[in-house]
Structure 1
Amino acid sequence: MGYVKFVFFMIYPFLRQLAFSSSLPHLCPQDQALALLQFKHMFTIDPDASDYCGHILTNQTIQSYPRTLLWNKSTNCCLWDGVHCDKMSGQVIELNLTCSRLQGKFHSNSSLFQLSNLKRLDLSFNDFTGSLISPKFGEFSSLTHLDLSDSSFTGLIPSEISHLSKLHVLRINGLNELSLGPHNFELLFKNLTQLRELNLDSVNISSTIPSNFSSHLTTLRLPYT
């Protein structure tokens, strides 16, 4: 019995410290905090943005506000609005910036692409007028959720999106300013076999739409013909 007490008192400080540390917010890696701040400073806050945003097809209305406004290098980025980190590693795994009033050009060399562990990324309902969808989005190999809808992206949807084989949700739509190249639709479904939801509303699709979709697909929105 004395030996058991001795062992307990030896490991008690360690157990106490472990319990204390597990209750603390995990620290965001410095390089990821810097990447997020660089991303923030690439955009201005649109003063004319609507107070609410939402899509008639989703039947949802969300209050619009500048989520990045209080991001500050003196604070833990895991506590920043819209940022979620892995509980064990502190790595940024989710970025939700929907309806954040961001305005500016989304560059292909954006620091956002340094967040290689992202699993969910939502940039919907911002103003990236004139910006192309970078092929680098296809490098987020862990993504299960990607939403680029209603943010004024333009041009061709890159075929590299088909590299995101873990995707469950893909939303890329926006006022007939986007297009999907020949054979790209078939390529999407060939590789994105885990899709539950696909929204390509208002995307110009020039390729043939296959008759067999993903067996997991429950929601499909395509342009009106």
Structure 2
Amino acid sequence: MDFAKVTAKYYSKWIGKDNILLDMGSGVEYIFSPERNLVQPGYSRQFDLFIFRQPDKLIISYGDKLKNRIDLFKSDMVTRAEPNDVIEILGQRLGATVYHGIKYLYTTIPDIELQAVYLTKSDYPRYLTFFLANNPGCKNTEWLEEYFTEMTDKNLCCGIYVNNTLVCCSDAPDMPYMKNDVQEIGINTLKAYRGLGYATDVCIAAVKAIIKNNKCPQWSTSATNVASQKLAEKIGFIKYADYYTVTL
């Protein structure tokens, strides 16, 4: 599988113009996209502004709410703009909170012996206990068993048990585009078991399952989540792009 090509196609969908990351050269481009007016599956709000930044390109995707305001910062948005500059420009011009995240590209599977197992439907009671421990504020779990079953049917729920307790587990977030071609990895570890290498082990097992399902693994995290960034690199990802979102 050409991971780079599939990933470029996927984030082109996010931007709102098919294959722009494959076809565009260097420079700055503005894209008006109806996608910015929609709340994407798996997200709680729409992104009125979605900026995708790679070393040689800067793509600004905007929707109806910014249609008449985009000129406010056009002169300031240049390819060489550093992350903090982008955040400052957007904050000043729009008076809004800016989220800064990092997208990753999968490259290769580390060759290590794994402890992780692929969970099955019979693991649900222990998965429920694990889920509630990680989400103590969750009041409604009626949806959880169906979600768990969907993951286990595709071997996308990997975990590690310690003394019969599920301590680390992957999940498979909903994908807003190209569901048959890509799958992002989610990971959670019980607080007492963090820093022991379990997440690395589980995520590699998840990557193998995703690839076996003929899909391209994806990873995305906050620019401030250093632990997640290091984990991505440990399991075979490299940084692909910075991205910024604004919801007005």
What TM-score, normalized to structure 1?
A: 0.23
> Does 1 or 2 have the higher relative contact order (CA < 8 Å, sep 6+)?
2
Between Structure 1 and Structure 2, the one with more strand by share is: 2
Task: Compare CA radii of gyration and give the structure with the larger one.
Answer: 1
Between Structure 1 and Structure 2, the one with more helix by share is: 2
What TM-score, normalized to structure 2?
A: 0.22
